[in-house]
Structure formats: C-alpha cells, structure tokens
Chains A and B, each alone.
Chain A
C-alpha cells in the first residue's frame, strides 16, 4: 500500500508530492491504522509535511520537475559526459520537512527567550500574547489561496497555514494536558471537586445554551436591514455557543501561571477548564450531527445526556486503566532505568489516543492517567527518571503552547475572514459570567472578588478555534463568520483579560499564592485533622467525603500499593515518604552551604580576636549546619530504607550525629564556645562532598578525640571506622553491597563521568550518587527494627 511504502521510504529522497498524497489518504481514514510509539514521530513529520508552509521560497513546482529530472538523469546516465565531481551541492528537498519543523520549534523557543528579556523591562504583557503579536507582525503572509483541486501546486490544503486541526489535537495539545494532569495537585482538586464539576458541567451547558439562544434571538431581530444573519438557524447558533463557551485549559494555564493567584481560585478555574472538555465534546457532536437534520427531538436530548455520561466516565476510565498499567510496568523497571520516562509518556499518549478512538474525552483520559499513575510511578522510578519526566513535560508543554499561539496568530492574519459586527460584539459580551448561582452550594463561600476573578479568568483559546475549524463548510455556510467571531473572542479574552488580570488581582487584593514549601507540621496536622474529621463523622453517623476518602486510602494501602509499588516502598506510610522527600531536598541544597563553614573554622583558629558580632554569626552558622545534618542523616535508617551502598556510610554517620547533638548542647551552654573543634560541622559535609566524588575539594581535618571522623574512600562503599557498632553495620553492608552489583560501584568509581545525564556541578553530583535508591533484590530486613 502506498502508505507503507512512503513510510519506508522516508529516509530516502522522496518527492514530497507522492508523500503528501499518501498522507492525505492516511488521515482521511484515521481509524484504520494503529499508531504505535514509533509511529508517533512519523506522524508528526508526515502531518507537518502535509500542512507546512514553505516560507523560504522554495515552491513546490520544482518537486514535480525534480521527479522528472531524476528519471531523465537516470536515462541519460549512460551517455553522460563526465564532469568534475561536485564538491558542494545544494539539496534542500532532502531535508525539507524536518528542517521546517525544527525551524518552527526554534522560532518558538527564540520568541520565548526574546519575550522574557522584553518582559523584564516592560513586565506588562503575558508571554503568550506577545508571541501572537510577534508572529502576526513578522511572518510573511504568503497566501496563495486555498484551492482544493490541483492541490499539488500550492502548499496549502484545506487548512490555513500550519494550524491543521489534527496536528493541533494530536501533537500540540497532549503535552500541555499531560503536564497539567501529571502535576495536578490532587488534594485541593478533590476537595473542590463538587464546585469544579458544577462549574464545568452546569456552567458550560448553561453558557452554551444561553449564548446560542441569545445569538439566535439577536440575529433574528434585525428588521431594518435584512442581512445574512437572518439565515442562521438555531442549531448552528447553539453549536457556536457550545464551541465558544468552553474555557480553554491552554490559555488558562498560560495566563494563570504568571499571576500567582491563590491556590483555591487557580484550581477552580483550571479544574473547570479541564473538565468541561467532556461537555464540549458531547455538545459539539450532538449539534453537528443534527444540524444536517435541522431538528432535535427529545429522544436526541436524552441520548445526548447518556452520551455525556459515557464520554466523561469512559474517558476517565480509560485514563485510569492506562495509569494503572503504567504504574504496574514501572514496578519492574528497576534494572532498566533509562527507559522509565518513556513509559510515562507513551502510556499517557496511548490513553489519549484510545479515548479519541471512541470519541470519548481525550483530555479527561490524559488527566486521569497522569493523576493515577503519579503516586505509584514516583515511588518506583529513580530520582533521575523523575527529574527527566518533569523536565521533559515542562519543555514539551512550553514549546507546544508557544507554537499554538504562533499558529493562532498566523491563522488570524491569514485565514478566510468574514466580519460581522453584531455577531461578534454580542458574542464577546456574553462570554463568561455565571458564578453567582454556584456560590450557593459551596461550604466556604467565595467572595464577590473571587467570583469576579473566576469569571474573568474564563479564557477561550485555541481549542475553540480548532473545533470551529473542523466544521464542514457545506453544512455550515456561516463557518467563516463563526471563525472570525471565535478568533475575536479568543483574542479579546487572551489579550484584554489576560493582560489586565494581573493588575486586577493586585487591585482587588485577592489573596496570592503562598510561595513557601509545605512544612512537615502542615503535613502532620493535616493528616491528624483528616483522622479527626473521619472520627467525628463516624460519631455523627454521617458519611461525608472524609469517610469515603478514608475508605479509599485504606483500600489503597491494603491492596493497590502492594501490587503497584515494588519492594519495600509499598509499606512506607505517606508521612514518612513526605518526610524523606523533604530531607532529600534539603540534602541536595546542603553542599551549597560548605563555604560558610570554611570561614567559620578559620575564625576559630583565633578565638580571642573576634568581635561579638562575628561570634553571633558563626554561632548561627554552626547551629544551622549542625541541625540540618543531624536531621538529614538520621532519617536514613538502614532497617527501613532500601539498600544503597552509600547509605552504609550514613549508618556510621548516624552515631556521629548523636555525638553532635551532645556537642550542640555543649555549644549552647558553653560560654567559650569557640574552643569547640571545627571538625564536627565540617566532616559530615566533607564526607558528603567526598561521596560526591570530588576528593580534591576538601581535605580531612585532624580528628578530635570526641568525634570520630569518617574517611570515605571512593574505592569502597564502606568506611573503616573504629567504633564497634560500625563494624556491625559494615558487615551487614558488605553483604548487601556485594550483592548489589558492580554497576553501583561503578557509579562511584567514575566520579567525573557525566554520562549519567547530570551536569557537572557538585549538588548534582550528590544527587547522582544518592539518587538511585530503587528496590534491591537482596534486601534482607523486612520488619522494622524494634528497640
């Protein structure tokens, strides 16, 4: 089949003409072939090839001639007079498609860079809007008409430059949604789920019908000059209403990221934008189907409602299934860590595509998949993979977003437009205002200010445009007018609302996001309160959402975690996991601290000459370093954590820390604290620095007799030490360390190798060394150590 041959011949110079035809075939029958992970890349290339602009002037006419030329050249080869061997040739068509794709992405990224630098001075414009402005200004408008027949002469098919709807829905949208879904803060989301659902479902429905109906009414009451508006029927109006009423997650994300609004409002608007996709899908298909027929019966409405439930729940179910699959797979990846991120991405993308096959809500599937797999996958994969996943998601979503807005700008400048004042103004005015009704149902009321911000934050974006684009021109003669109106609304909301929301937030003094990290106190008390509330609900006999949440947690702990999380980590309670994460983060920041310790030790060599102020400073530095190290190291108790040869070193340091507690007490009491030897605050950091395999940066200090210093030799994970308890640890460590395998030893032995993907800085090296806990096959202690 021609598709297959074109697939195979992608590496070979193939005339783009043939390929484009093959692509057209492929995409008119989307359900036919299954897109595998390898096909994804191909997809991107082929789609872009089909719809790509040729701004660099190389038109398609050489394509056919090129084809002919080839054949001619082959025929003439035999009576070819020998010329000088061409040292330098120009062959653009060979790399045309990937080149253009890369150029677009590069352009998008450069624009983002430029905007940042511009924004530093201007600080007014949200980045996405300036990208739209830039592209509207800069790109050469090379409109050669969108003719359908004889299409191989022009580079434009039925689509405007570059924003092919399929490209948008299949390639540009998923990264953004996956990024949002994976990092969705589950707790606030679940707590506000009622409100969010209400906004998303009821709000969107109401908006759609209201806008559609009102538009129809407005169009009808133009008695003075009978314009084309009269020809619009109710159903197309309703369809338009459904397209335009959906708040767009892309735009919301882009704008709300900048304004740092408080978490509650953020999650409300954002959650609404994500969940209204189901409503939009159903309404869109419903009205599109029946616009041909012209009437909608009650049965159709009923079916529509059922369809909505199917779409929404089905989408979520598909996502959850794929999420669980991904979690299950990640359980076994302890030995092949490099491909862990790939599982996350591919499973999520498959969830999206599978949902789209059945016309279910792909966005909800993606969100459900990301949110489901996250807790289990993060417990299973290594720290490096986690970082990779995070950064790849952020990178892809950022580039996607910029590209979307660029294309939107291009489409604005270029697409077929049909302006109609009444239509457009009424649409713009009607968008977004329904929060008053919903407020009645909330436990904690939203203030008027909050309501206003929620209404104001209802941005429309590229999804609306693409949906409008997918409309068939035959059934909807008003399509161009719709498109114009959609673009206007999108621009209005993104530009005007997007730009002014930041000053508005400050003006209304809406609560801003608390930047600080979550403390362990909060975690403890929140869990405590959860238990408390569950208990109270039990007493009342009222099965509120705490009760169900508690049940779900128990179920999770008992069955699900055992299946999906590998090894020891499955038994780790949430609080401990949180605590470890915090300590780990702090440990990573620790190596940045050593420089302050150094002047401290130097200062202590000359105790009597220091002024009081300096003493205070040193005291503070000492204390903060001591506290941190003590807490950091104590958490890694060998009995409950998974084995890591490096951790044996920390077992030794555990004893050390106890000594340092005593030392700290001494510091507090002692007047002449400066006689405390400098070695204690130094050696843990030193050891850590040593573990991070940089022997030249620190030298061993001479020991004092109160504190044993540890010299961690790079060649072996265990540290020779004189304390008896240490020997025990060491022996146990040897058993475990030996079984662990040479690969981890290798990790230590090659300190300067950056092949692991880390950059060369010290903190990163530390991360690299400590980073790979992973379940160990020969972990021997299963039960916690009881004193």
Chain B
C-alpha cells in the first residue's frame, strides 16, 4: 500500500470531508461500492455508483469537475519521475481534449462516464469476495 501511487487518495476517500476518523458504517459504505453486480437490472445503478466513486478520487476539491491541474496531479503520482513535465502536460492536454465535450477545459462527471463507456467497469471494479 505504501508503494501504491494513489494510496493516500484511497485512504482519504474513506474519510468524510473534515472528519479525522472513520467509523464502521462509513467503511462498509465505501467498500460496498466494490460489490459485484448481481442482476442485470441493478447494473446501471451500480455502474453509476462505481464511476462516481472513482470520479471522487480524481476530483479532490469536490467541485464536480476534474480540472487540468487535478488530472496532472494524478498523472504525476502515477508516472512518477520517469517522465518530463512537458510530456505530462501533453498527455493531460490530450486527455482533456478527447473527453471534454462542452469545451470548458475540465472533465465533468458525465464526460467521465462517457469516456469510459466501453470499459467493463462492473467487472474491473469488483472484488468477488465481497458478495
């Protein structure tokens, strides 16, 4: 966990904003996001929830959008010191361009959802022992 690039984000996701401790219900609530979906009917709802959780991890200041700076931070933490600042910039630029449909230079939740529509979120974000 210490080596995980987004470890600190994950941990802070368990804590509600402003609180220093996490109690068991909130812990369970967060983990419940990773339950595998059972029926087809609940699929959309569960997919939404999972995506929203992931979105919150990007969007640290909780303004509902992933700004360029936030994206850069994530990229920086994932790629570390192996790439130059310029490369990071261009990747972030490219990512925003591809996803940003309303041209506001940030990725909203809907745009985030749309860019991941081909990815099998239900399978990726499920831990099967959490049934």
Q: A residues engaging B (CB < 8 A)?
A: 191, 264, 443-445, 447, 514, 516, 519-522, 524-529, 531-540, 542, 544, 554, 571-573, 575-576, 579, 627, 631, 634-635, 637, 639-640, 784-787
Neighbour of A575 across the interface among B34, B79, B124, CB < 8 A: B79
Neighbour of A525 across the interface among B116, B128, B130, CB < 8 A: B116
Q: How far is the CA of A634 from the CA of B89 in the complex (A)?
A: 9
Main SS of chain A's interface residues? Answer: helix
Instruction: Rank and list the top 7 A-B pairs by shortest CB-CB distance, nearest first.
Output: A535-B10, A521-B115, A634-B90, A538-B1, A444-B123, A535-B4, A784-B84
**A529/B54 contact (C-beta < 8 A), A443-B36, A521-B99, A542-B127 known:** yes
Q: How far is the CA of A438 from the CA of B97 in the complex (A)?
A: 42
Contacts A444-B126, A520-B95, A786-B84 known; list 10 others, CB within 8 Å.
A443-B123, A444-B120, A520-B91, A521-B115, A522-B115, A522-B116, A536-B34, A631-B94, A634-B90, A637-B84
Contact mask for chain B residues 38-60; partner A; CB cutoff 8 A; 1 contact, 0 none: 10100000000000001001100
A30 → B minimal CB distance (Å): 45
Q: Are A639 and B127 neighbours in the complex by a CB distance under 8 Å?
A: no
**A528/B54 contact (C-beta < 8 A), A521-B115, A534-B4, A539-B10 known:** yes
Q: Are A532 and B31 neighbours in the complex by a CB distance under 8 Å?
A: no
User: Is B104 on the interface with A (CB-CB < 8 A)?
Assistant: no
Cβ–Cβ < 8 Å partners of B98 in chain A: 519-521
Cβ–Cβ < 8 Å partners of A554 in chain B: 3
Neighbour of B79 across the interface among A447, A542, A576, A634, CB < 8 A: A576
Q: How far is the CA of A634 from the CA of B98 in the complex (A)?
A: 17
User: Is B118 on the interface with A (CB-CB < 8 A)?
Assistant: yes
Cβ–Cβ < 8 Å partners of B89 in chain A: 634
Q: Are B31 and A536 neighbours in the complex by a CB distance under 8 Å?
A: yes
Q: How far is the CA of A534 from the CA of B34 in the complex (A)?
A: 12
Q: Are A576 and B87 neighbours in the complex by a CB distance under 8 Å?
A: yes
Q: How far is the CA of A538 from the CA of B122 in the complex (A)?
A: 20
Q: Which single residue of chain B is at the shortest CB-CB distance from A627?
A: B97
Chain B 94-116 residues near chain A, CB threshold 8 A? 94-95, 97-99, 112, 115-116
Q: How far is the CA of A614 from the CA of B86 in the complex (A)?
A: 35
Q: How far is the CA of A786 from the CA of B129 in the complex (A)?
A: 44
Q: Are A528 and B78 neighbours in the complex by a CB distance under 8 Å?
A: yes
Neighbour of A635 across the interface among B7, B90, B99, B125, CB < 8 A: B90
Cβ–Cβ < 8 Å partners of B37 in chain A: 444
B50 → A minimal CB distance (Å): 9
Q: How far is the CA of A479 from the CA of B10 in the complex (A)?
A: 64
Main SS of chain B's interface residues? Answer: helix
Number of interface residues of B (CB under 8 A): 53
Q: How far is the CA of A281 from the CA of B34 in the complex (A)?
A: 40
- In this complex, which of B7, B74, B94, B129 has the most chain A Cβ atoms within 10 angstroms of its Cβ? B94
A341 → B minimal CB distance (Å): 30
Q: How many A-B residue pairs have CB under 8 A?
A: 140
User: Is B85 on the interface with A (CB-CB < 8 A)?
Assistant: yes
A15 → B minimal CB distance (Å): 62
Q: Are B127 and A536 neighbours in the complex by a CB distance under 8 Å?
A: yes
User: Is B21 on the interface with A (CB-CB < 8 A)?
Assistant: no
User: Is B19 on the interface with A (CB-CB < 8 A)?
Assistant: no
Neighbour of A526 across the interface among B79, B90, B124, CB < 8 A: B124
Q: Are A447 and B83 neighbours in the complex by a CB distance under 8 Å?
A: no
Q: How far is the CA of A531 from the CA of B37 in the complex (A)?
A: 21
Q: How far is the CA of A579 from the CA of B83 in the complex (A)?
A: 12
- In this complex, which of A531, A533, A579, A634 has the most chain B Cβ atoms within 10 angstroms of its Cβ? A531
Neighbour of A573 across the interface among B4, B79, B122, B123, CB < 8 A: B79
Neighbour of B128 across the interface among A445, A544, A631, CB < 8 A: A544
A779 → B minimal CB distance (Å): 16
**A520/B94 contact (C-beta < 8 A), A525-B119, A573-B83, A784-B83 known:** yes
Q: Are B127 and A575 neighbours in the complex by a CB distance under 8 Å?
A: no
Q: How far is the CA of A573 from the CA of B79 in the complex (A)?
A: 7
Q: Are B90 and A514 neighbours in the complex by a CB distance under 8 Å?
A: no
Q: Which single residue of chain A is at the shortest CB-CB distance from B79?
A: A573
A446 → B minimal CB distance (Å): 11
Q: Which single residue of chain A is at the shortest CB-CB distance from B91?
A: A579
A580 → B minimal CB distance (Å): 9
Q: Are B7 and A639 neighbours in the complex by a CB distance under 8 Å?
A: no
Q: How far is the CA of A627 from the CA of B94 in the complex (A)?
A: 9
Q: Are B87 and A637 neighbours in the complex by a CB distance under 8 Å?
A: yes
Q: Are B128 and A535 neighbours in the complex by a CB distance under 8 Å?
A: no
A200 → B minimal CB distance (Å): 20
Cβ–Cβ < 8 Å partners of A787 in chain B: 84-85
Q: What are 12 of the A-B contact pairs (CB < 8 Å)?
A: A443-B128, A444-B120, A520-B98, A527-B78, A528-B78, A531-B4, A531-B5, A535-B1, A571-B82, A573-B83, A634-B90, A787-B85
Q: Are A533 and B125 neighbours in the complex by a CB distance under 8 Å?
A: yes
User: Is B69 on the interface with A (CB-CB < 8 A)?
Assistant: no
Q: How far is the CA of A528 from the CA of B31 in the complex (A)?
A: 17
Q: Are B79 and A533 neighbours in the complex by a CB distance under 8 Å?
A: no
Q: Which single residue of chain A is at the shortest CB-CB distance from B93?
A: A631
Q: How far is the CA of A535 from the CA of B6 in the complex (A)?
A: 8
Q: How far is the CA of A542 from the CA of B129 in the complex (A)?
A: 8
Cβ–Cβ < 8 Å partners of A534 in chain B: 4
Q: Which single residue of chain B is at the shortest CB-CB distance from A633?
A: B90
A317 → B minimal CB distance (Å): 28
Q: Are A537 and B127 neighbours in the complex by a CB distance under 8 Å?
A: yes
Cβ–Cβ < 8 Å partners of B31 in chain A: 536, 539-540
B67 → A minimal CB distance (Å): 15
Q: Are B125 and A529 neighbours in the complex by a CB distance under 8 Å?
A: yes
B55 → A minimal CB distance (Å): 10
Q: Are B95 and A640 neighbours in the complex by a CB distance under 8 Å?
A: no
Q: How far is the CA of A129 from the CA of B127 in the complex (A)?
A: 43
Q: Which single residue of chain A is at the shortest CB-CB distance from B129?
A: A542
Q: How far is the CA of A635 from the CA of B78 in the complex (A)?
A: 18
Q: How far is the CA of A534 from the CA of B99 in the complex (A)?
A: 26
Q: How far is the CA of A536 from the CA of B10 in the complex (A)?
A: 8
Cβ–Cβ < 8 Å partners of A571 in chain B: 82
Q: Are A640 and B83 neighbours in the complex by a CB distance under 8 Å?
A: yes
Q: How far is the CA of A444 from the CA of B124 in the complex (A)?
A: 10
Q: Are A579 and B127 neighbours in the complex by a CB distance under 8 Å?
A: no
Cβ–Cβ < 8 Å partners of B97 in chain A: 627, 631
Neighbour of A784 across the interface among B7, B38, B81, CB < 8 A: B81
Q: How far is the CA of A549 from the CA of B58 in the complex (A)?
A: 23
Q: Which single residue of chain B is at the shortest CB-CB distance from A557?
A: B82
Q: Are B1 and A191 neighbours in the complex by a CB distance under 8 Å?
A: no
Q: Are B79 and A532 neighbours in the complex by a CB distance under 8 Å?
A: no
Q: Are B7 and A535 neighbours in the complex by a CB distance under 8 Å?
A: yes
Q: Are B86 and A634 neighbours in the complex by a CB distance under 8 Å?
A: yes
Q: How far is the CA of A53 from the CA of B3 in the complex (A)?
A: 65
Q: Are A525 and B115 neighbours in the complex by a CB distance under 8 Å?
A: yes
Chain B 1-23 residues near chain A, CB threshold 8 A? 1, 3-7, 10
**A631/B127 contact (C-beta < 8 A), A521-B98, A528-B6 known:** no
Q: Are A631 and B40 neighbours in the complex by a CB distance under 8 Å?
A: no
Q: Are A443 and B126 neighbours in the complex by a CB distance under 8 Å?
A: yes
**A531/B6 contact (C-beta < 8 A), A444-B122, A520-B91, A538-B1 known:** yes
A678 → B minimal CB distance (Å): 24
Cβ–Cβ < 8 Å partners of B124 in chain A: 526, 529, 533
Cβ–Cβ < 8 Å partners of B119 in chain A: 522, 525-526
Q: Are A519 and B127 neighbours in the complex by a CB distance under 8 Å?
A: no
Q: How far is the CA of A622 from the CA of B57 in the complex (A)?
A: 36
Q: How far is the CA of A531 from the CA of B2 in the complex (A)?
A: 12
Q: How far is the CA of A640 from the CA of B88 in the complex (A)?
A: 12
Cβ–Cβ < 8 Å partners of A516 in chain B: 118
Cβ–Cβ < 8 Å partners of B75 in chain A: 524, 575
B40 → A minimal CB distance (Å): 7
Cβ–Cβ < 8 Å partners of A784 in chain B: 81-84
Cβ–Cβ < 8 Å partners of A540 in chain B: 31, 127, 129-130
**A539/B1 contact (C-beta < 8 A), A191-B123, A527-B78 known:** yes
Q: Are B87 and A635 neighbours in the complex by a CB distance under 8 Å?
A: yes
Cβ–Cβ < 8 Å partners of B116 in chain A: 521-522, 525
Q: Which single residue of chain A is at the shortest CB-CB distance from B86?
A: A637
Q: How far is the CA of A516 from the CA of B114 in the complex (A)?
A: 14
